[in-house]
Amino acid sequence: MTAILRAVRRPLSARSLPLRLAVFAVAVAPLAGVARDGAGQVTPPPAASPQAAVETVPVATLPGETGPLVSLQDVVRRLGGTLTPQPRNSFQLDLAGERILFGPDNRAVARGTEIVELPEPPRLADGTVYVPLAFLEATYGELTDAVLRWNRAERRLELERRRSRRLAVSTDVVHLQGITTVVFELSGEPRYRVDERPGAVVVEVTGDSLAGESVPRVGEPLVESIEVGERRIVLRLAPGAEADTYSLDSPFRLVFDVHAAEATGPGEAAPELAGPTPPEGVRTIVLDPGHGGSETGAIGPSGVAEKELTLRLARSLKERLESTLGVRVVLTRDEDANLPLETRTAIANQNKADLFVSLHLNSALGAAARGAETYFLSATASDERAARSAAAENRPAEDSPPGGAPAGDDPLYELQLMLWDLAQSHFLSQSQRLATLIQGELNSALELRDRGVKQAPFVVLMGAAMPAVLVELGFLSNPEEEQRLQDPAYRSELTAALARAIGRYKGEVEGVPEPAGGEAEPARAAGAEGPGGGTDEAGRPAQGGARR
């Protein structure tokens, strides 16, 4: 699961451009190619050989909207795989090392971390799962050597096996401007997967085999070794190095840009990588100011919007964390702009964050509700109040851009939630621990009403490939809490409490003893919203905030 989660898609970085030019000039002829990220992605299969034998697969069928629906159980019995019923009226197909999640009456299919949309949904009838041919193409067609076609004239499902090919592989290595580019040119495009592992990148080839030519001796500071076997290519990286992966066409090439984990600009030398790998810890934190743009979030009695206060809190917390913990902090938004919920965790994944913290303010019917509560992801809410909070936060604005949060009754949303609930289970204990530390710090330092640590299906936490929490820092619907939240001094206390909790979590992860007194940073005088100032946003001296 870790390998799958870490195989996130990354945009091509500017630092790679000189190396890309070098690839064309040195390694191969300058032909036009289409770059794409190959991490965790199965490539389209080659066309079947016309000489291959055609077999008939006996299957039960139902009429569908776009063509016949065929019995998946019959296909599994003939071609292999394991079909298992899952909770919430869904099924799991395990095939060629891949987990495929889907449900009847749902056009979305989760293949690994990829969502595939079918032209029509599968159907369940008398205990049999019937699927469209597109489902078979996206599963057996891409993960095995099977080519399945529907013979309209004979009204039967036909199977053709792809013939295994022996693909020649040549390898070139270029080192320029602190980046090592490794190019594997193949005599044909195989079906393959790229698996990023600690200290290595592995290319697994299915169906075909590889015939590697002599691999050049590696004398680069970023790459320890290169291995080309019959079914896999292994690129072993030096400690502290990482690789960006993409492919080029005509001829087909797999390209790896290897660079130091800390970004370097063009023309800068990569830092020395000698020495032991630094211990795992918290180095990058992504803060998510809730809402933004047309989605205002909660509105207080005086008219203040949640989106305004969460941005101020996030900016202040960013400064405090950077100055006290020495970590890199990224904001999902640093302006009043629309930002789809799933994009927020995508930003965290792109930045390889070690923590994701989404900041929100609560609202309730009536004015009596008060206090703070902290959430981590679960497909099932821990209580009715948690379910209502998640439903409110997951609801997109009426004029939000395409790609906003799906409605709770959207089948695609239900499937994505199920998938990411399984994915987040890897970080369950860490997310729960961070939530507990945050809630405890808010309770003790600010004497807020303790509303507890809870679980709920928040869309904004669904795609996070790291420990992730959502914090509700108070109720804007409560006039007293609204007034306090508009006070820069009180917001400074909130961010100080959050920073102490994150600092304690960081210390636990890295095995650093907690400072005497149990605080991750020195106590600061009330009135400083950020770590270095005693003024509010307008430059006026800040006033001390009252505690409850």
Mean local confidence (pLDDT), 457-483: 85
Question: Cα(257)–Cα(255) distance, rounded to whole angstroms?
Answer: 7
Residue 384's H or E segment, with its range, is: helix 384-394
User: In which residue ranges of the chain is CATH 2.60.40 found?
Assistant: 6-43+165-260
- Check residues 185 and 41 and name the one with the higher pLDDT: 185
Q: Is the pLDDT of residue 205 over 50?
A: yes
- Check residues 215 and 355 and name the one with the higher pLDDT: 355
State the chain's mean pLDDT as an integer: 75
Q: At what angle do helices 488-510 and 306-325 cross, to 10 degrees?
A: 50
Q: Is the pLDDT of residue 500 over 70?
A: yes
At 87, the pLDDT band (50, 70, 90 cuts) reads low
Mean local confidence (pLDDT), 457-467: 76
- Tokens standing for 204? 């697994």
- Check residues 26 and 73 and name the one with the higher pLDDT: 73
Mean local confidence (pLDDT), 421-448: 79
Report whether 169 contacts 213 (CB < 8 A): yes
- Check residues 325 and 367 and name the one with the higher pLDDT: 325
Q: Is the pLDDT of residue 402 over 70?
A: no
Q: Please tell me the predicted confidence (pLDDT) of residue 4.
A: 29
Out of 371-385, 387-401, 462-476, pick the least confident.
Answer: 387-401
Phi and psi (nearest 5°) for 14? -65, -30
Mean local confidence (pLDDT), 245-254: 85
Q: At what angle do helices 428-446 and 488-510 cross, to 10 degrees?
A: 140
User: In which residue ranges of the chain is CATH 3.30.457.10 found?
Assistant: 54-161
User: How many H helices and E strands in the chain?
Assistant: 12, 27
- Check residues 405 and 474 and name the one with the higher pLDDT: 474
The set of residues, in sequence order, having a beta carbon less than 8 Å from that of 132 and lying 6+ positions away, is 64, 66, 67, 69, 118, 119, 120, 122
- Tell me whether the omega of the peptide bond preceding residue 301 falls within 30 degrees of 0, making it cis: no
In the chain, the amino acid numbered 204 is E
Q: Is the pLDDT of residue 325 over 60?
A: yes
Mean local confidence (pLDDT), 129-158: 91
Question: Cα(166)–Cα(231) distance, rounded to whole angstroms?
Answer: 10
Q: Please tell me the predicted confidence (pLDDT) of residue 319.
A: 96
Mean local confidence (pLDDT), 229-241: 88
Q: Is the dihedral of CA 541, 546, 547, 548 positive or negative?
A: negative
- Check residues 446 and 379 and name the one with the higher pLDDT: 446
Q: Please tell me the predicted confidence (pLDDT) of residue 526.
A: 33
- State the CATH class of domain 6-43+165-260: mainly beta
What does the buried/exposed string (b/e) look like for 397-413 if buried means 16 or more CB atoms within 10 Å of the residue's CB? Answer: beebeeebbbeeeeebb
Q: Is the pLDDT of residue 171 over 50?
A: yes
Out of 241-250, 270-279, 294-303, pick the least confident.
Answer: 270-279
- State the CATH class of domain 284-510: alpha beta
Mean local confidence (pLDDT), 400-422: 49
Q: Would the pTM count as exceeding 0.85?
A: no
- Check residues 248 and 485 and name the one with the higher pLDDT: 485
| Order of strands across the sheet that contains 146-151 | 54-57, 156-161, 146-151
Q: Is the pLDDT of residue 274 over 60?
A: no
Q: Please tell me the predicted confidence (pLDDT) of residue 450.
A: 75
Q: Is the pLDDT of residue 157 over 80?
A: yes
At 244, the pLDDT band (50, 70, 90 cuts) reads confident
Q: Tell me what percent of the residues of the chain surpass a pLDDT of 70.
A: 69
Model pLDDT for residues 184-204, shown as the tens digit of each residue = 998 888 878 787 777 888 888
- Check residues 194 and 12 and name the one with the higher pLDDT: 194
The set of residues, in sequence order, having a beta carbon less than 8 Å from that of 95 and lying 6+ positions away, is 80, 81, 82, 139, 140, 143, 144
- Check residues 272 and 482 and name the one with the higher pLDDT: 482
Give the residue ranges of DSSP H helices in 200-340: 306-325
54-161: which CATH number, 3.30.457.10, 3.40.50.150, 3.90.740.10, 3.50.50.60? 3.30.457.10
